[in-house]
Amino acid sequence: MITFRRLPMLLGAAMMMASAAFAQTTGVINVTGTNPEAFSLTDTTGIPLSATLALGTLTPTNSNSVAPAPPVTVRIRTNKAYKLSAQAAALSFTTPGLPDNGDTIALTDIGFGITGMTLTGVNVANTGSRLESIPSGFDVSGGWPTATNGLTPAFGKTLNDITTDTQILTGTRVSKKGNMATDNNFISVSFGAAALPQYFTPNAGFSSTITLTIASQ
Amino acid sequence: MVFGRGMKVVVCTAMAIMMSRGKALAQVLTDTNNGVLSASIPFGNLTPGNSTTPASTQIQFRVRSNNDNGYRILASAVFNVTPTGLLQGGTTVSASDIGVGITSIIPGNATRTPRVDTIATGFNYDPATVAAVNGLTPYDGTASGKATLADIVASPNMTILSGPKIANNQGINNQNNFLTVTITFGLVGQFFTPSTLSGILTVTLVDGP
């Protein structure tokens, strides 16, 4: 028998059951992510740059023309304005001969600069109208200077000018999109070195490691 | 037993609630713990790499329904990007860069068989396995068979999955009366404008067809 006194309890129970059993029919999925500032320097195959500017054997001749190393081309990709800097380590020599009061080749005898750039690509930001900025002296796209009297010419810049981390190129964002597998979202920058072969102290080889660093402006 | 007028009102209210309860129980959509589906699935830091494989992430949820007409899963989405860098002639990530696909539907042992659950055109693919040709976004939208979040943003409450009655009951204490649905998202890390992104996908379970 249902009485008035029990009805509130029944009603409450019914409401509790209804509340507990009400169906959940909606769900929310929140997808998040971050596109960080990104800069990359790779060789022309897309792997981290490790290349050699080989001046070869510098045998003195009867010429005032410098011996340039085949340039090394670097691919630059960024999603933000960038600055590229370079730093050369001291020269190291293999089997150096005696100077006998002569001169040994030095960082000041090796010209260094940017020999060319390709600034276009379907996914290059502002393709066709890019204006990279090269500090004075580092642009050797017009060629290397000619020597006079068979001595080291007046290079715009030499490796001696980058013995500390030195800015050599700046520009605005390079890549519209794509990653490092993309074949049209980078600019190509070629770096070269040159020296005039002279009667420097003999050696079996010399080298200097140039470290390129790219970062946000 | 004799009721007064006021008592009739109370009893009718109780009956209405109980009827409402019965109707609402036809569908239940939960996470895999039978709780409310409210998930955050992060892509994390999308640093551009040298790979043609998209980054991917996925979510699973359970669908229960005893409606004789079956069920439908509706999807709506919003997408937001907060740039932290300048555009400078580049491209910013958008909803069309995020692939969305239903990558599995697993029926429990107590679901009705045989059954044919239908994934909407364009959503029947795995965004994680689509090669990013040339390092670019490989998803072209539903028309090309590779749906993106932009397709859902553009068509709120679009049906992405439907099917016949799932089971004879929809109680969440039953571990065999549901479909486990997996949605996979894909995104290729690229040199997009520095930014953070957030896409909110809302899925709703309704009666079919």
Q: How many CB atoms lie within 10 A of CB A133?
A: 12
Q: What is the pLDDT along chain A (217 residues), one digit of tens a residue?
A: 444 455 444 444 444 444 334 457 999 999 999 999 999 999 998 888 999 999 999 999 999 999 999 999 999 999 999 999 999 999 999 999 999 999 999 999 999 999 999 999 999 999 999 999 999 999 999 999 999 999 999 999 999 999 999 999 999 999 999 999 999 999 999 999 999 999 999 999 999 999 999 999 9
Q: Class assignment of domain B27-207?
A: mainly beta
Exposed e or buried b for every residue in B127-149, given b needs 16+ CB within 10 A?
bbebebebbbbbbeebeeebbbb
Contacts of A25 in chain B (CB under 8 A): 27-29, 204-206
pLDDT of B23 higher than 60: no
At residue B26, the pLDDT reads: 80
Q: Give the mean model confidence (pLDDT) for residues B51-61.
A: 96
- The 10s digit of each residue's pLDDT in B144-174 is 999 999 999 999 999 999 999 999 988 999 9
pLDDT tens digits along B68-84: 999 999 999 999 999 99
Instruction: Check pLDDT > 80 for residue B134.
Output: yes
Q: DSSP for B175-208?
A: SSSSEEEEEEEEE---SPPSEEEEEEEEEEEEE-
What is the reported pLDDT for B12?
A: 38
Beta carbons of B49 and A81 less than 8 Å apart: no
Residue A21, in any domain of the structure: no
Residue A9's alpha-carbon distances to A13, B17, B119, in angstroms, are 6, 15, 47
Confidence (pLDDT) at B8: 46
Q: Residue A6: its pLDDT value, please?
A: 52
Q: What is the pLDDT of residues B102-119, one digit of tens each?
A: 999 999 999 999 999 999
Touching B: A residues 43-102, CB under 8 Å: 46-47, 77-81
B156, two tokens: 């709120």
* B27 with A15: Cβ contact below 8 A: no
Residue A23 has a pLDDT of 58
Task: Tell me how far apart the alpha carbons of residues B170 and B27 are, in angstroms, rounded to a whole number.
Answer: 7
Q: Between A14, A21, A34, which is nearest B25 by CB?
A: A21
The mean predicted confidence, pLDDT, of chain B is 90
pLDDT of residue A5: 53
B17's enclosing H/E stretch is helix B5-24
Range B131-141 average pLDDT = 97
CB contact under 8 A, B37 and A185: no
Domain count, chain A: 1
* Residue A4: inside a domain: no
* Total length of chain A: 217
Looking at the complex, does the CB of residue B138 fall below 8 Å from at least one CB of chain A? no
Residues 153-212 of A with CB under 8 A from B: 172-185
pLDDT given at position A11: 45
pLDDT of B25 reads 54
**Residue B209: cis peptide before it, omega within 30 degrees of 0:** yes
Using the predicted structure, report yes or no on whether residue B37 has a pLDDT greater than 70.
yes
Q: By C-alpha distance, which of A210, A177, A202 is closest to A74?
A: A210
The whole domain housing A72 covers 65-216
Q: Is residue A14 part of a domain?
A: no
Q: Is the pLDDT score of B62 beyond 70?
A: yes
